[in-house]
A and B are shown apart, each in its own frame.
Chain A
Amino acid sequence: METLYLIFIDPFVQMAIEPAFLAEVLIGGLMSGVMYSLVALGFVLIFKASGIFNFAQGVFVLFAALNFVGLMDLGVHPILAFIITLGIMTALAFAVDRLVLRPLVNQNPIILFMATIGIAFFLEGFGESIWGGDVRPVRVGIPDTALFWETGFGEILVLSSDLFAGVIAAFLVTVLALFFHFTPVGRALRAVADDHQAALSVGIPLNNIWVIVWAVAGFVALVAGIMWGAKLGVQFALSTIALKALPVLILGGFTSIPGAIIGGLIVGAGEKLFENYWGLPLLGGATEEWFAYIVAMIFLFFRPQGLFGEKIIERV
């Protein structure tokens, strides 16, 4: 009885008593969700265009952040460092296409997946041997002050860096959506995602498209890396945190950009809410680590294509 009360009634009573705390938890959750979304976005881009599940996307985030921070520590201006890192990620996209994807073209998806695991370990080691294994703080001038927001039901604390991350993510997603829908290259990317053969038949060069997609994924990884880095410092745990993108993808659907965003927000907000209202009182906390994976598993049972997965068009 006691337990049932704690599960089904008490959390909601708490929420009603202290709405300001609820709002804080929710906002904090949504903001970390934005970070998951950014990483998930990189996965979706590559998966959509080439059907490859790029296990290395998490390491891309780390690698991009390492390069960016490394360059900045050498005294390079942040904007210049950003541009150079973007160049490095583009070069990486070329290298992946030439050295890994082309020789393996037409192979099973599982073989390509294994190849991306290889890329992941290589990049992680390569990044460490160049830049070292220390945790490095990112100082790009993102203000990190606590803002107090006065509302009718109490004071809410919001971190300005969280707000900043939210704005950047929203901006990035808008730019990507415009790119995909209103440029010839974006249209070609979607065409390739739909039907490789047909894309080839109208003369869309698949290899160029893949390089573009990997480069865009590298760009997204760079933005995500800077954001994560600003929050936690650039450290090797980033590539593991980035794997949280997996449950996000299962939730949102592997082929949907809005799905990646909303999935990220749900996972971020959900795990914070669960931790604060159920995890701490009932289980003593540390539920954030696994909550997302349990939700993902439940989703796999009932809606395997995710919330926004590609509609399976069936003509009757």
Chain B
Amino acid sequence: MNEAVRNELEVNNVEVIYDHVILVLKGVSLHVPKGGIVALLGANGAGKTTTLKAVSNLLRAERGEVTKGAILYRGERVDALTPTDLVRKGVIQVMEGRHCFEHLTVEENLLTGAYTRTARRAEIHDDLDAVYGYFPALKSRRRSLAGYISGGEQQMCAIGRALMSKPQTILLDEPSMGLAPQLVEQIFEIVKRINEEENVSILLAEQNTNMALKYAHYGYILENGRIVMDGDAAVLRENEDVKEFYLGISSTGRKSYRDIKFYRRRKRWV
């Protein structure tokens, strides 16, 4: 199969500048295959969110700009499209920090996700039921204002809202933020189910490396706006550096800070 078609989403050597001066991404390249879960890992400020926003084109609303490189969706350049066009094409972002519409009820929140669709009322109603199928907790709170439901429910609401747009690719930004470990696991399980049952590709930005590598098929590690390592999730999980720096496991037990080796940074601009 042709490379461009096999990869649902391709980010090629993208550079992002905020406010005309601040260089945040310094040539990031990654691929998301159809039906895959790809994790984008890294610390605070590494550029994970910026990468996702570059794809979904939410950058422009924050004075960010893609100054180099290209973003292709199904072999077609999408960097000039508006977020609305992208949602219509099937790419939707679930933003970090949930961002539910607080003064709308849960159900109204979900319905806003279907704004770009021209589907009939009955069809949208079925999709609503499907979302409640994935997130039964939302069904019992459908009439509550989204501002008053719990953090976990808000995360579910945000993912469910994205599902209402019938996406092909979800850009999922830090779904674990501020949630209890058990809840994180539960949400990741649902994300996996969505990925398998609806064949939705997922690009997942996460700080929780352990959890992300457990569910993802492939991973990229981002540092200071550059990809420094990538590989199959299973391989990354076993990698000594990843273990030491991102998973907090070391082969020799606890070490003195003096002995910690500096990260071997592989610079790539591919």
The residues of A with any CB-CB pair to B shorter than 8 Å are 105-106, 184, 187-188, 190-191, 193-206, 310-311, 313, 315
A201 touching B99 in the complex, CB below 8 Å, given contacts A106-B63, A187-B108? yes
The reply to whether A202 and B113 contact each other, CB–CB distance below 8 Å, is yes
Q: What per-residue 1/0 map shows which CB atoms of B75-95 lie under 8 Å from chain A?
A: 000000011101110001111
Contacts of A201 in B (CB 8 A): 56, 58, 83, 92-95, 99
Which A-B residue pairs are the 4 nearest by beta carbons? A203-B87, A313-B147, A198-B99, A194-B101
The distance in angstroms between the C-alpha atoms of A310 and B101, with both chains bound, is 13
The reply to whether A191 and B104 contact each other, CB–CB distance below 8 Å, is yes
Q: Return the contact of B148 from the options A106, A195, A206, A315 (Cβ within 8 A).
A: A315
The reply to whether B84 and A203 contact each other, CB–CB distance below 8 Å, is yes
The distance in angstroms between the C-alpha atoms of A203 and B109, with both chains bound, is 13
Interface size of B by CB at 8 A reads: 36
The reply to whether B101 and A198 contact each other, CB–CB distance below 8 Å, is yes
The residues of B with any CB-CB pair to A shorter than 8 Å are 56, 58, 61-63, 82-84, 86-88, 92-95, 99-104, 108-109, 111-116, 145, 147-148, 151, 161-162, 165
Chain A residue, CB-CB nearest to B88: A203
The reply to whether B112 and A199 contact each other, CB–CB distance below 8 Å, is yes
The distance in angstroms between the C-alpha atoms of A4 and B62, with both chains bound, is 59
Contacts of A311 in B (CB 8 A): 103
The reply to whether A203 and B104 contact each other, CB–CB distance below 8 Å, is no
The distance in angstroms between the C-alpha atoms of A187 and B151, with both chains bound, is 23
The reply to whether B100 and A202 contact each other, CB–CB distance below 8 Å, is no
The reply to whether B115 and A188 contact each other, CB–CB distance below 8 Å, is yes
Per DSSP, chain A at the interface is helix
For the A-B complex, the count of residue pairs with Cβ-Cβ distances under 8 Å equals: 89
The distance in angstroms between the C-alpha atoms of A202 and B114, with both chains bound, is 8
Contacts of A188 in B (CB 8 A): 112, 115
The distance in angstroms between the C-alpha atoms of A200 and B100, with both chains bound, is 12
Chain B residue, CB-CB nearest to A198: B99
A202 touching B165 in the complex, CB below 8 Å, given contacts A196-B61, A315-B148? yes
The distance in angstroms between the C-alpha atoms of A192 and B4, with both chains bound, is 36
The reply to whether B95 and A204 contact each other, CB–CB distance below 8 Å, is no
Q: Can you list 19 A-B contacts (CB < 8 A)?
A: A106-B61, A106-B62, A190-B101, A190-B104, A191-B109, A193-B103, A194-B102, A195-B100, A197-B58, A197-B99, A198-B101, A201-B99, A202-B113, A202-B115, A202-B162, A203-B87, A203-B92, A204-B112, A204-B116
Contacts of A310 in B (CB 8 A): 103
A191 to chain B, nearest CB (A): 5
The distance in angstroms between the C-alpha atoms of A105 and B114, with both chains bound, is 26
B95 to chain A, nearest CB (A): 5
The reply to whether A187 and B111 contact each other, CB–CB distance below 8 Å, is yes
The reply to whether A203 and B95 contact each other, CB–CB distance below 8 Å, is no
Contacts of B93 in A (CB 8 A): 201
The reply to whether A194 and B103 contact each other, CB–CB distance below 8 Å, is yes
B117 to chain A, nearest CB (A): 9
Known pairs A187-B108, A201-B58; list 5 more (Cβ under 8 Å).
Answer: A106-B62, A191-B108, A197-B58, A202-B92, A203-B165
Chain A residue, CB-CB nearest to B154: A315
Q: Return the contact of B83 from the options A105, A106, A200 (Cβ within 8 A).
A: A200
Contacts of B108 in A (CB 8 A): 187, 190-191
Most buried by B among A187, A196, A202: A202
The reply to whether A197 and B88 contact each other, CB–CB distance below 8 Å, is no
Contacts of A105 in B (CB 8 A): 61
Contacts of B113 in A (CB 8 A): 202
The distance in angstroms between the C-alpha atoms of A310 and B165, with both chains bound, is 28
Contacts of B162 in A (CB 8 A): 202
Chain B residue, CB-CB nearest to A193: B103
Contacts of A313 in B (CB 8 A): 102-103, 145, 147-148
